[in-house]
């Protein structure tokens, strides 16, 4: 089934009643099954061998110790799966964990017992609470969402080895997830079924086990959280950027893009390079600082976030501004300081690692740009000479800087030549880097559905693009909706209680994207929707598409025109327009209100208090079934009555009855 080499590790301690079932249910495409005996005193080892597993022994008690032993005997697999030997997880569902890694969507996949079906009593209250608390603490510290710490998980072997796992006991699973969060490893949770284990649990089955496991998990989280605060103050990366004001940003691009287009390019490129530098600095505990020109601190923080040092540029020209940045950094204890700009999207983590490596042997490192300037300069001490009498903006900047360094005897090292994006002919460089980068903000498309077997397939076929996840949240369909949705690769299907607000909020909760796009199951996204969403959210907190109803009825087309004019004029959108929002804005308004109707209307009104909600000219295709069934004018009239009734405080149940009546049409 898979070309990749996939091995399974099963740590065991007295699992003779269950280990045979576990091994027998492991899919045939698994290469090696490694059972790690962690001090069994029953017949577990004999049963495992009889069922075809390889058995190794780890006398040191501890879940992590057993897992490390299993890793030590692996023969260079591509993917490693961990599963317990108590038959509480179902090995036949292993493909759910492996598929996202095989398809390049993730490097680590957690089998979530929270998202899947659970046998009554399988997951104890204390285990549920512990998982909830740990996952929320991880999110609070590292801003990465998990729903479970379940032991049933898969991870690519290179990623696993790079984590340098070391916990020997109950902290093993949470250590892996924390390190994935620290390294920003592409990860996801998938639903798996969870059953009552065979035998007594070593953790939840005893008071001491519960206390010991809980203490270990919490102390592991706090240990890594404390390390996060211990930033390496000897190293610093400084990003120079302008606030994207129309007419004052990327001025050499204005003839090709216009003033607004040039400002949007400045915004996109700065957001892109900022995300790249921020991830590098987080992984290596390095101070990240932004030096800005134009705008103010509040505007910059609203745009780029608050997780970095933010300072205004000081000085008359670019040379003086960079010299001031180096001087202040060294005054604050920095020993290795790197300054770069937002004009070179090709700057990579490898370039940054190479820069700090070179700084150990020379005091000056420069990254030459193909246009005769430089995209990066780094120092171990301040050198005013390399910033003095330089013709900034000319093709001789690099040569003049090197001549100045040679004149005063400064040793330097050059990095590989990269390309700045300053002129219209450079735009192909930006497009190429952007299309092939993992740093475009991830979009989570959340589809709420209920008995939509007729439309769900065409909806999901439109959810295509790089760095996109799709979550279908079913509210209890009685037709083939879930079956059809599950047949799509890269689509996660989950269930929760009925109610659009509840379904959308649940999908947002389990998603991992920086951007949330809420989609009705009878709608079809426009081509290149992801580019449009990222473009709009580069400078706004929310947006939606214009609407196109799938009907040729003349009156319905008039209604469509009216809806689009109203949306653009008022900045208001309804759910069938594909509302999209930054996750930070979604969290600030606390998601969709838990009301029976008009949840989308209230949500968008709350968003508008945070910032602009922009209606894209791109059109989302949505079903006109209710308009056709009840007639366009009757549908329009009922919708207006619902809005007016909502404002006058009529009972939501009454408004909902109006909306769902067979004679009532869709907004």
CA angle in degrees (0–180, nearest 5) for 162-163-168 = 135
Q: Is residue 648 part of a domain?
A: no
Q: Is residue 453 part of a domain?
A: yes
Q: Is residue 652 part of a domain?
A: no
Both 131 and 146 in one domain: the answer is yes
Both 216 and 263 in one domain: the answer is no
Decide which of 413, 435, 457 is a domain's last residue.
Answer: 435
Both 186 and 237 in one domain: the answer is no
Both 218 and 283 in one domain: the answer is no
pLDDT category at 570 given cuts 50, 70, 90 is: confident
Q: Is residue 655 part of a domain?
A: no
- Give the DSSP H or E segment for 129: helix 125-142
Residue 39 phi/psi, 5° resolution? 110, 35
Q: Is the pLDDT of residue 413 over 90?
A: yes
Both 452 and 489 in one domain: the answer is yes
In eight-state DSSP terms, residue 339 is E
CATH number of the domain bearing residue 614: 3.90.550.10
pLDDT tens digits, one per residue of 181-206: 877 788 999 999 999 878 655 544 44
pLDDT tens digits, one per residue of 36-76: 999 999 999 999 999 999 999 988 888 999 999 999 889 88
Both 187 and 275 in one domain: the answer is no
Q: 349 lies in which domain range?
A: 231-435
pLDDT at 442: 82
Beta-bridge mates of residue 32: 7
Cα–Cα distances (Å) from 6 to 81, 367, 622, in that order, read 7, 42, 43
Both 406 and 339 in one domain: the answer is yes
Both 509 and 592 in one domain: the answer is yes
pLDDT at 377: 98
pLDDT at 229: 54
Q: What number is the average pLDDT over the span 117-138?
A: 85
Q: Is the pLDDT of residue 316 over 80?
A: yes
Decide which of 228, 260, 289 is a domain's last residue.
Answer: 228
Question: For 417-450, what is the HEC assignment?
Answer: CECCCCCHHHHHHHHHHHHCCCCCCCEEEEEEEC
Both 508 and 392 in one domain: the answer is no
pLDDT at 203: 47
Q: Is the pLDDT of residue 228 over 70?
A: no
Highest mean pLDDT among 281-295, 616-630, 634-648: 281-295
pLDDT at 667: 38
Both 367 and 402 in one domain: the answer is yes
Tokens of 439: 């740093």
Q: What number is the average pLDDT over the span 534-544?
A: 81
Q: Is residue 653 part of a domain?
A: no
Q: Is the pLDDT of residue 278 over 60?
A: yes
pLDDT at 665: 37
More confident residue, 29 or 275: 29
pLDDT at 86: 92
Closest by CA to 357, choosing from 336, 331, 383, is 336
Both 64 and 87 in one domain: the answer is yes
Task: Kindly report the average pLDDT of the chain as a whole number.
Answer: 86
Residue 573 phi/psi, 5° resolution? -135, 155
Decide which of 181, 210, 228 is a domain's last residue.
Answer: 228
pLDDT at 258: 85
Q: Is residue 76 part of a domain?
A: yes
pLDDT category at 439 given cuts 50, 70, 90 is: low
Q: What number is the average pLDDT over the span 351-368?
A: 96
pLDDT category at 225 given cuts 50, 70, 90 is: confident
pLDDT at 206: 46
Number of domains forming the structure of the chain: 3
pLDDT tens digits, one per residue of 290-304: 999 988 877 887 777
Tokens of 40: 């069994």
Q: Is residue 75 part of a domain?
A: yes
Q: Which residue intervals of 381-527 are DSSP H helices?
A: 397-407, 427-435, 456-461, 481-486, 500-510
Both 128 and 251 in one domain: the answer is no
Q: Is residue 249 part of a domain?
A: yes
pLDDT category at 452 given cuts 50, 70, 90 is: very high
Q: Is the pLDDT of residue 176 over 50?
A: yes
Q: Which residues of 330-441 form beta strands (DSSP E)? A: 336-341, 364-368, 374-379, 412-414
């Amino acid at each position: 089934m898979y070309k990749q080499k996939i091995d399974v590790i099963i740590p065991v301690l007295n699992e003779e009643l269950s280990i045979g079932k576990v091994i027998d249910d492991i899919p045939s495409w698994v290469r090696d099954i490694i059972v790690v005996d962690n001090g069994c005193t029953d017949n577990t080892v004999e049963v495992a061998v009889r069922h075809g597993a390889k058995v190794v022994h780890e006398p040191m008690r501890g879940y992590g110790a057993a897992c490390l032993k299993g890793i030590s005997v692996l023969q260079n697999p591509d993917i490693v799966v961990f599963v317990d030997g108590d038959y509480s997880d179902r090995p036949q569902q292993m493909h759910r964990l492996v598929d996202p890694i095989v398809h390049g969507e993730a490097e680590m996949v957690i089998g979530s017992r929270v998202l899947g079906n659970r046998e009554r009593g399988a997951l104890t209250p204390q285990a549920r609470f512990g998982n909830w608390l740990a996952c929320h603490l991880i999110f609070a510290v590292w801003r990465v969402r998990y729903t479970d710490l379940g032991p049933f998980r898969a991870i690519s072997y290179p990623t696993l080895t790079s984590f340098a796992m070391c916990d020997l006991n109950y902290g093993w699973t949470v250590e892996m997830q924390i390190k994935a969060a620290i390294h920003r490893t592409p990860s996801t949770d998938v639903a798996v079924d969870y059953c009552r284990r065979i035998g007594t649990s070593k953790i939840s089955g005893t008071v001491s086990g519960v206390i010991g496991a809980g203490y270990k998990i919490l102390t592991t989280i706090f240990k890594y959280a404390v390390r996060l605060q211990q930033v390496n103050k000897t190293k610093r990366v400084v990003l120079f950027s302008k606030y994207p004001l129309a007419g004052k940003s990327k001025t050499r691009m204005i003839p090709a893009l216009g003033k607004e287009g040039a400002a949007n390019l400045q915004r996109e490129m700065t957001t892109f390079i900022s995300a790249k530098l921020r991830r590098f600095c987080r992984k290596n505990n390095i101070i990240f600082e932004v030096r800005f020109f134009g705008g103010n601190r509040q505007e910059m923080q609203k745009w780029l976030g608050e997780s970095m040092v933010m300072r205004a540029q000081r000085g008359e020209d670019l040379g003086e501004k960079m010299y001031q940045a180096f001087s202040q950094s060294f005054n604050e204890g920095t020993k290795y300081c790197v300054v770069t700009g937002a004009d070179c999207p090709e700057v990579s983590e490898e370039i940054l690692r190479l820069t700090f490596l070179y700084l150990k042997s020379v005091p000056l490192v420069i990254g030459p740009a193909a246009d005769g300037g430089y995209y990066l300069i780094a120092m171990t001490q301040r050198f005013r000479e390399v910033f003095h009498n330089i013709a900034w903006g000319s093709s001789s900047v690099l040569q003049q800087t090197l001549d100045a360094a040679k004149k005063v005897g400064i040793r330097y090292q050059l990095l590989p030549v990269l390309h700045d994006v300053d002129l219209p002919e450079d735009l192909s460089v930006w497009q190429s880097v952007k299309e092939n980068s993992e740093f475009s903000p991830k979009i989570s498309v959340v589809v709420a559905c209920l008995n939509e077997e007729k439309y769900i397939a065409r909806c999901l076929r439109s959810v295509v693009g790089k760095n996109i996840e799709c979550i279908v949240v079913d509210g209890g369909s009685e037709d083939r909706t879930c079956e059809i949705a599950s047949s799509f690769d890269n689509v996660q299907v989950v269930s929760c209680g009925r109610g659009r607000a509840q379904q959308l909020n649940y999908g947002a909760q389990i998603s991992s994207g920086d951007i949330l796009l809420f989609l009705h199951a009878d709608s079809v996204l426009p081509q290149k929707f992801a580019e449009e969403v990222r473009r709009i959210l580069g400078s706004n907190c929310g947006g939606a598409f214009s609407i196109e109803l799938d009907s040729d009825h003349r009156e319905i087309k008039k209604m469509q025109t009216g809806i689009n004019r109203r949306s653009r004029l008022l900045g208001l959108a309804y759910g069938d327009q594909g509302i999209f929002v930054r996750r930070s804005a979604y969290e600030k308004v606390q998601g969709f209100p838990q009301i029976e109707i008009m949840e989308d209307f209230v949500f968008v009104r709350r968003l508008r208090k945070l910032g602009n909600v922009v209606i894209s000219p791109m059109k989302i295709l949505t079903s006109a079934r209710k308009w056709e069934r009840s007639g366009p004018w009757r549908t329009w009239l009922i919708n207006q009555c619902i809005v007016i009734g909502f404002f006058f405080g009529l009972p939501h149940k009454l408004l909902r009855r109006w909306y769902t009546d067979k004679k009532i049409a869709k907004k």
